[in-house]
Chains A and B, each alone.
Chain A
Amino acid sequence: MAEGYQVLEELGSGSFGKVYKAIEKATGETVAIKLIDLEESTDELADIQAEINLLSTCKSPWVTEYKTSFVKGVKLWIVMEFLGGGSALDLMKPGPFSEAHIAIVCRELLLGLDYLHSTGKIHRDIKAANVLLTDAGKVKLADFGVAAQLTNLKSQRMTFVGTPYWMAPEVIQEAGYDFKADIWSLGITAMELALGQPPLAGSHPMKILFTIPKNPAPRLEGDQWSKDFKDFVAQCLIKDPDRRASAKELLRHRFIQRAGKVEAMRELVERKQMFDAQEETTSHPKYYEETMVDLSPRTEEDEWTFDTVKPATMTPARHTAKRRKMARIPSSDANSCASMMQHLDLNAGPLGNVTDSPLPERRRASSRKSSAGTAIRVSSGSTPTARRISNVPKQPLGLDLTFGNSPSTVRHFKRVSSGERRAALTSNPPPPSNSFHPNPQARTFRPSPPNSAHPLDMEVNNENQPPAPVYPPMPVTKDALYGRRAYGKVLDSVFQEAYADCASPHQREALGRVHQAWAHLDQIDPQGEFLLLKAMMDRLQGDSKLASALGVTVSPAPTPKQHNTKTSETSLSGTTIHGTSTTRIRSNTTNAASSLSKQSADYSATPTQTPFQTPIETPTGTTSASPIKGPKLVLAQNNPHLKSHRRRQSAFVGGEKAFGLDAYGGLDEKKLPGHVEKGMEQQGLLADILYGQWMQGLKSRWPLS
C-alpha cells in the first residue's frame, strides 16, 4: 500500500512519529502521512489504535479527514487529509485575529464540535494549535490524540488530559466531565485568537491547574471588542458545566449568527504567506528516507543449533530480507530521485545539503504553506497526555514557556526545528554545549535567520523559542560555571515563581523585563553574573538589618525557619553542619546544592509553609561566600562529585519521584502544589494526585542541569 504514495518532505515530527507531505499516486491528491515507528513508540498499540478508531468514525467537513492506515515494516502509516493553510496558531504569527475572523473560526469550530458531540466524542484538546485551515481558508478540527469516545451518552470521562491553559475546571478537578469541557476550551481559544495567547499564559503551567478552578472564569475585556463577542466568551467560560451552553445552543448566539463567510479566512492564510515571504528564507526540507538496516550477513554463530534443521535454512531470512530490500520511495519525479540518491550516500548529512539542486527552490512555496498543514497535529504545541512521556530532546526552561504551547503538555510534539535546519545550513553549527540557547523545538519551518532583527519575529516567534542569538564563545571559568548554576538552579525559577505570583500586569511586565535582562546577562557573561551576585550578597551581609531580614545572618549559616527558635549562634551553625553532613552521608555526592534541595524538600513537606520560599534558596548561594562557613562549603562546591552529580541529575530526569527532588534542585516547583491557600485546603488530595502526574511529565521536560 505504501507504494501508492510518493512521500515528499517532512512537515513535522514528535514523539508520536513524523509527518510527511505525500502525493497519492492514484489520484494525484496531496495528503499528509503520519509515520509512527511502532518499535520506538512507548505507547501501547491499543492507544494508537484508539486514535485511529476515533478518526475513522469521523466524517465531517469540519474535522480533518482520515483516509487509511497500514503497517509497513515496523512503521504504521496513517494517511490524512492535507491542510495547506496551517494552524490558527501559525496564522497568528503576523498578529492576532480580528473579531470578524474569530467569529468565523468559532462558528466553524462549533459546527465541528456539534458533530463530534452528537456522535459521542469529546475532543479534549481544543486550542489554536489544533485548528487547521485549508489553503482556501476552511477551518477544521485536528489532532485526536487525546480525544475520547463515550460508549454511552451519559458516560463521563475521568481521565486527566488536555493542555492546562485551555482546560476546563471540571477536567482539572477530575470530578467527571463531558462534552461541555470542549466548550470551555473553545472559549479560551477565542480569547487566545483575540489576544495572541490564552489567559494566564504568564503563569506556570502547574500553578494554573490550581488557579483555574479557584479563580473566577476569565473574561474578555476592552473596548475594542463588541458586546456580543464578550458575551459569547462569557457563555463559554461558565465554570459550572451544567450551566454552560452546548455547541448547539452557542450556534444560535448572536456573535456566531452574524459571523461572515468562511472564505474570509483566506485573508489570514494569505497574510501569513506574505509574512513568511518577507522573511527571506530558504528552506531545506527533510525528505523521507527508508530506514536502512545493517547489511552485514549473520554469522552462523548468530543462530541457534537445532539438530534437525541446518542452520542455513534457519535464517529468518523472510522479514530481514524484506527490510533489507531498501525499497526506494517510488518516485516518478526526477528531482526527488536526485535527492534520494544523495541520501543513498551513507556519509551524506542528514539533510543532504542539496543546495545546488533545483529542489529547494521548488519546495519553498509548499513548505512555507505547510507550516501546520497536516491533518495530523504537527503543531509546535504539543499535546498533553499524561500517558505520553517520552525521551524527546530536553528543553531548558526559558522565559518563553509562558504560552503553554510547549511546556504545558506532556506529549511532545515538535516542529521540524529551524535550529536543526540552521545547523544544516551553516557549516559551523553552534556548539552543542550551548544548552542555554534554548529551544531545539522551533515551531516554524521557516528558518529564521539567527540574528533576525525583525521586530515581529522577535516578538511573535518567541512563543516557543526565545530568540537565540549567537554570542561569541565565552571562556569557561569556574566563576562562569557558578554563575550559570546560580541562574539555572535558583534565579531562573525564582523569577518564574515571582512572575507567576504577580498580581498586576504592570508588576509582571516589570519583573519579566528584569528576568529577561538577567537571562541575557547569563547568556553573555555568566562570570560577571556570578561576581555581581557575590558582590550583592557581600553588601547585603554588610548591612545587618537587611541581612537578618533576608535570613542571611552575618553568622555564616543559612537560617532555615525550623531552626529559628535556636537563637544562639553556636547551636545554629551546629545544626547546619549536622544537616550538611547527614546529607553527605546519605547521598555521597553532596554539595551545597543537594543539601539545599533536601532542605527545600523538607520545607515543602511542611503544609503550613508560606508560599514564599525563595529566600531560603538564596542563603545557600550565599553560604559559599560567607566568611565562616565558607571553607566548608567551598570545599563542597569544589567537590569532584559536583560534575557527576549534575550528570546524574540529568540522568534521573524522568526517573522516580525521589530523584525528582534532587533533580529539581533549586527549582522550587514543589511549593506550587504543596502550598495551601485559604479555601484551597480541600485540594490537598487532589494536589497530590495532580502533582504526581505532572512531575512525571515535567521531569522529562525541564531538566535543570
Chain B
Amino acid sequence: MTPLLELSGITKHFGAIEALAGVDITLGHGEIVGLMGDNGAGKSTLVKIVAGNFAPSAGDMRLGGRPVRFGSPLDAREAGVEVVYQDLALCDNLSASLNIFLGRELTRGIGPLRFLDRRAMAARARELFAELKTNTVPGDLVKSMSGGQRQAVAIARTRLAEPKIVLMDEPTAAISVRQVAEVLELIRTLSRAGHTVVLISHRMPDVFSICDRVIVLRRGTKVADKPVSATSPEEVTGLITGAIEAA
C-alpha cells in the first residue's frame, strides 16, 4: 500500500536561517504520529509547509503517491489536509459556528444570488460540538469563550470535511486537564475513522498515550523516527535536547 504522505528532502530557508534542512517523513493511513522538538526545531514550519502556508525552498511532497505542490491553504484543504493551528486561527468577533464554517460557508438562494444559511451552520455546529462533548454554544462569540471552548471550535472545524490528514499544533497546550483527555479521545476517534493525525506536542504523556510513532526534530533535521513502543520518554527528551545525538 502506498503511504498517504511522503515528504522527501524538505528544506526551508528564511533568509539566512535554515528552518528545515532536508527532512524526510512518511505517513501511513490512519496513523497517529507525534512530532516533537524544542522551540525553533522546525515543527511549525513543517506543519505550515504541509498545510500550504509556505512553499518549501527545496524537496518534494507526495500525497497518495502523486506529487503535490500546495500554492495556498485552499489547495491543501482541497487535497484533504486540515490544520488546528497553535493560535487556533479564530476570529474573536464571529460566532463559533461562523468560525467553523469560515471559508466554506453554507449558503442558500437561487443561482448566483446566495445568502448565508446561518441556521444550517448553527445546526451542524451543534452536532459537531455534541460529538466533541463540549458545552460550546454555536451562537456565542469566540471572544467570550474559555480556552477549552476555543479549542473545541478549532477542532470542530477540521471535522467539517472528511480530511485525510489532520495536523494538530499543540492542541493540549492551553486547555484544562479534564479537557486534555477529551481532546486525546477525539484524536483516537479520528484515527479509528481512518484519518491520519499528526500531533505536534511538548507534552510527553500525550504523545506516549495515543501516538503510534514519534518523530523528533532538532535544529531543522530529523533525529529520530520510531514506534512509540520502541522508545521511552527519557530517550525522546534526550533527543529533543541533544543529549542523545540520534536514534
> Is chain B a partner of chain A in the same complex?
no
